[in-house]
Chain A
Amino acid sequence: MNILKTFMRRLGSLIVTLVVMSVVIFVLVEIMPGDVAEMILGQSATPESLEALREARGLNDPIYQRYARWAGGILQGDLGESIYMRGVAINSILWRRVGHSVLLAFTAFIIFVPLSIFFGVLAGVKAKKLTDSIISFFGLATMALPEFVSGVFLIGLFAVQLRVFPIVSIIPIGESIFSNLNILILPALSITFVMFGYISRMQRSSMILVLNSDYIRAATLKGMPYKYVIFRHALKNALLPTITIIGMNMGWLFGGLIVVETLFAFPGMGSLLMTAIRTRDVPLIEACVLLITAIFAISTLVTDMLYGLLNPRIRYQGDAQ
């Protein structure tokens, strides 16, 4: 009951966040320099034709009317039309890209989450021993490398030398991503490089903290086997902070992979946003940024709910005392 109540409350605040963000995004993009009509018609357009277009598209209306029209469209599932691509509906470009991004994020997720948690736990259990030093060194080294460096390195190794994966992640025209799943591997590995050090260090320190706690001592002195103490008593508590960190990065993972996607020419959200900004495609920028915001907000909500499920202290906050 309680969890449902919390969920509804959080959902409410999520909607408020999205509404506020949509206003902010709309206003920000509006005050960006550049005239939409001029962009559509080009430099050589006559003032009369520009004016006619503005009038036809409602660009002369006051900003709140234009916002209402835009927001109303979004509510009905209409994200508007791309300017640069000459009136192609954004819906027809964006969702395909989102699908690709989700697939990439998912691939990266199933690689780096178990990997970094496993090695983080291992480093925490073997704290200050050789195993820990090696893991920590590797974590720090990969964390320090920007993704465009590690990405280039991966391309050099796997695509140029070993030739097991394609250099760029382009899907041939007429094919879907599912027949080209191998293009996901290199970008996903590159993301893993970025995340591994971060998550594993987080996991290591929370593991050390938990292992030093009184209840771990109590469990050990109850005569429980070492491995049992680690897995049954320590792990769940040690995972909590890590889950928060992973959750906080989910938004970035789903929508903010601009550098990685650009590097591999991966047809995802990030590279689409990059293109939209480069071509000043205002409706497309707005749609992309709003979607990324929504993903951020939803992943935070999911993280918090998951955290509550795992942590009984939060789950039962209402009837404690």
Chain B
Amino acid sequence: MNSNILEIQDLNVNFSIFGGMISAVRNVDLTLAKNESIGVIGESGCGKSTLSYTIMKYIAPNGQISGSIKFKGEDLLQKSEYEMRKYRGDRIAMVYQNPYSSLNPSLTIGFQLDEVTLFHRGVSRKEARELSLQALRDLNLGDPEGLVRRYPHQISGGMQQRICIAMAILCQPDLMILDEPTTALDVTTEAVILDTISELREKFSMSLMYISHDTGVINKVSDRIVVMYSGEVVETGPKQQIFEHPNHPYTRALINCIPRKGMVKERYRLNTIPGYVKRRGASEGGCPFEQRCQKKTPGCVEAYGMREISPEHTAACDRAYATDVPDMMDKLIKSHPVKSMPDGDALLEVQDVHKIFGKKRKVYAVDGVSVSVKRRSVLGIVGESGCGKTTLGQTAAGLYTPTKGQILFDGTDISVSWKKRSPEMLKQIQLIFQNPGRSLNPSHSVEQIIGRPMKKLMEISSAQQRRDMIIDLLKKVDLSKEYLKKKPPQLSGGEQQRVAIARAFSISPNLLICDEPTSALDVSVQSSVLNLLGDLQEDTQAAYLFISHDLHVINYISDYIMVMYLGRICEYGKRDEVIRPPYHPYTKALLSSVPEIDPSLEVGNIRLGGQLPNPTKTIPGCPFAGRCYVQAGKICETTKPPRVNKSDSHFFYCHLDDGA
């Protein structure tokens, strides 16, 4: 008896575009057993999503599919659109990356849930509603009766995604395809959703196909891993095997790109993969990774194809790492460890800053934060979305003025809008944003973008002099002078962010505010940007205020870490004081939510239920009390937690002296 739910054989998907055919998925063979969970990883543009939509037989009209996709023995590619309806949403369900846009804004949640069983099960409206409520209960969502009457925009992103998952399990499908379902969510929410998915898989004995660029997430939910590159499967095998003995150079490079637990900038350089995922024409052959591979040999073009490494483990390259390197991180250690953490005086001092938005409905975005950024150091701010980290950064930059409190830069009061700051002060503080594509003017050339602050703030009027300096700067960010005349839309995301960094450094600032600078980038690009920011900090001695939701990134780049929750500080201290071990229950929960990629590492099991409290209400006690799992008692709700000093540089706010 064949127990495979899904058997994909020799699947090719080509798209005809202006000027020829490009190949999105090629020669893919894949099997998925009942109740098995596979994870598909790869950078963007590797064909992961196309593969999943092809299984649903949902591709753009200019696409051509060949091969076979057997679902429970039936070839889906032979089915008509009408027959496919019986599979979609019933036997195969899908959950998407962006829950907000995947739910119809003008229909209630109940309506959108009910229609699934109405169509697939032919039940009455009343029965359908009952089934919908049951699905919501299966996901442990509180007040299902209230939820079904609401509209998608009235609930949080995490809730929306759970609604989407509830929608997917309504007909108890055999296969659930999840396309980056937690990428847009906070780590704490992500952790809860990943647990839910694993539970549901057990309960309904579903097979899962989980697509993600995040190896940590894949590690958590999958038994088997499929690595895709440029439309091809380059390596596949059991999770343990892939993480411990990755054979394909791409798998290895991808795993090493991620700043893992314990990786810090003083000791390690992050691995990078030069180049980018190229679109390939349908007729181009050979190893897809050849151009970026550090281990390539002249024979790579001919000697190419999947090979068996062990019975369960195959890879499209068996030479590169035939003799395994025991510690993959060995070669990444920096030749000269960077000097120890600077203990300089404060460059930027934030004193009891409050930022309240709105007059009638007050939103307490930043609620009394006092912190300082030391000269030549990196302060990392971490917290869930809505914790006020971005507002704090933008207030320091002068994009907002604080409602109360003071910001001092090098002793000068700068608690005013940037419009009122002197050119000298504007020069001192620069910003890098999350989305370089949207923060660079698309109609300006790279030269204009980088040259403008030089002209305005440094008053270098000679165009030639500016150009020489710009070429120098571009060199520093690993871009050649060919980029001078290019415009942002012609650049890749990583190149855009490099231009943004060059622009920020063009006037030698003393403080750089980085607001999630790597969150929108692929992991391989993220690592090169982090390396670059680390190098530049060493060279220029600038201080950074580095905002990120990713604890790994914060841990890698920061000297000091501040954990924020609902506009207030939870914990602050030197990196190692905050991270190992964490004291504040929230820091602990955050750390415990982060998906780790080392399968042997012990994973935390603290899960935060609920969501951020309403920021329009002032909270008399500890802001975290509502979600805290180790409460000191009633006092948490009623009294502001006292500051507990652990050392000169380390403190946290909690009623428990030792935190969690």
Contacts and interface: CB of A to CB of B under 8 A. Distances in A.
Interface of A: 213-215, 217-226, 228, 232-233, 236-237, 310-313, 316, 319-321
A223 B119 contact: yes
B104 A320 contact: no
Interface in B60-110: 81, 84-90, 93-94, 96, 98, 101-107
B18 to A, nearest CB: 14
A221 B94 contact: yes
A218 B106 contact: no
Contact of A312 (B93, B96, B106): B106
Given A311-B106, A316-B154, A222 B101 contact: no
B89 A222 contact: yes
Given A215-B105, A219-B104, A224-B119, A313 B89 contact: no
B153 interface: yes
Contact of B104 (A233, A319, A321): A233
A52 B295 CA distance: 107
A217 B177 CA distance: 14
B115 interface: yes
Nearest to A213: B101
A320 B89 contact: no
Most buried by A among B87, B98, B104: B104
Interface of B: 56, 58, 81, 84-90, 93-94, 96, 98, 101-107, 115-116, 119-120, 151, 153-154, 164, 167, 614
B88 A220 contact: yes
Contact of A221 (B88, B107, B115): B88
Contacts of A320: 153-154
Given A217-B58, A320-B154, A225 B85 contact: yes
A215 B102 contact: yes
Contacts of B153: 312-313, 316, 320
3 tightest Cβ-Cβ pairs between the two chains A and B: A223-B89, A222-B89, A223-B88
A224 B84 CA distance: 10
B167 A222 contact: yes
B53 to A, nearest CB: 8
Nearest to A216: B104
Nearest to B171: A223
Nearest to A218: B102
Nearest to B82: A225
Nearest to B151: A312
Nearest to A311: B106
Given A237-B104, A310-B106, A218 B96 contact: yes
B102 A214 contact: yes
Contact of A222 (B98, B107, B115): B115
Contacts of B86: 223
A30 B562 CA distance: 68
A223 B87 contact: yes
Contact of B105 (A219, A220, A225, A237): A237
24 contacts: A213-B101, A214-B96, A214-B98, A215-B105, A217-B58, A218-B102, A218-B164, A220-B88, A221-B94, A222-B167, A223-B86, A223-B89, A223-B116, A224-B115, A224-B119, A226-B81, A228-B119, A232-B115, A236-B106, A311-B106, A312-B151, A312-B153, A316-B153, A321-B614
A313 B106 CA distance: 8
B127 to A, nearest CB: 18
A320 B153 CA distance: 7
A237 B106 contact: yes
A215 B115 contact: no
B25 to A, nearest CB: 18
A142 B89 CA distance: 44
B167 A221 contact: no
A320 B164 CA distance: 20
B85 A223 contact: yes
Contacts of B96: 214, 217-218
Nearest to B104: A215
Nearest to B107: A233
A236 B108 CA distance: 13
A221 B167 CA distance: 11
Nearest to A215: B104
Contacts of A316: 151, 153-154
Contacts of A217: 58, 96, 102
A113 B571 CA distance: 61
A218 B103 contact: yes
Contacts of B98: 214
A79 B116 CA distance: 60
A222 B116 contact: yes
Contacts of B151: 312-313, 316
Contacts of A313: 105, 151, 153
A225 B119 contact: yes
Nearest to B614: A321
A224 B154 contact: no
B154 A319 contact: yes
Contacts of A237: 104-106
Most buried by B among A214, A215, A221, A320: A221
Given A214-B96, A236-B107, 6 more contacts: A218-B96, A221-B88, A222-B88, A223-B86, A233-B104, A311-B106
A321 B611 CA distance: 12
A226 B82 CA distance: 9
Contacts of B88: 220-223
A214 B119 contact: no
Contacts of B101: 213-215
Contacts of A226: 81
A223 B171 CA distance: 11
B165 to A, nearest CB: 12
Nearest to B57: A221
A313 B153 CA distance: 7
A233 B103 CA distance: 10
Contacts of B116: 222-223
A28 B85 CA distance: 65
Contacts of B614: 321
A309 to B, nearest CB: 11
Nearest to A128: B61
Given A310-B106, A312-B153, A220 B58 contact: yes
Nearest to A319: B154
A236 B151 CA distance: 14
A221 B88 CA distance: 5
Contacts of B89: 221-224
Contacts of A311: 105-106
Nearest to B101: A214
B86 to A, nearest CB: 7
Contacts of A236: 106-107
Nearest to A219: B104
A142 to B, nearest CB: 30
Contacts of B90: 223
Contacts of A213: 101
Contact of A223 (B102, B103, B120, B154): B120
A319 to B, nearest CB: 7
A219 to B, nearest CB: 7
Contacts of B119: 222-225, 228
B69 to A, nearest CB: 15
Contacts of B102: 214-215, 217-218
Contacts of B120: 223
A220 B84 CA distance: 10
A232 B115 CA distance: 11
A122 B321 CA distance: 58
B493 to A, nearest CB: 21
A221 B89 CA distance: 6
A232 B164 CA distance: 18
Contacts of A310: 106
B205 to A, nearest CB: 21
A245 B58 CA distance: 34
Contacts of B154: 316, 319-320
A232 B86 CA distance: 19
A225 B89 CA distance: 12
Given A224-B115, A316-B154, A215 B103 contact: yes
Nearest to B97: A214
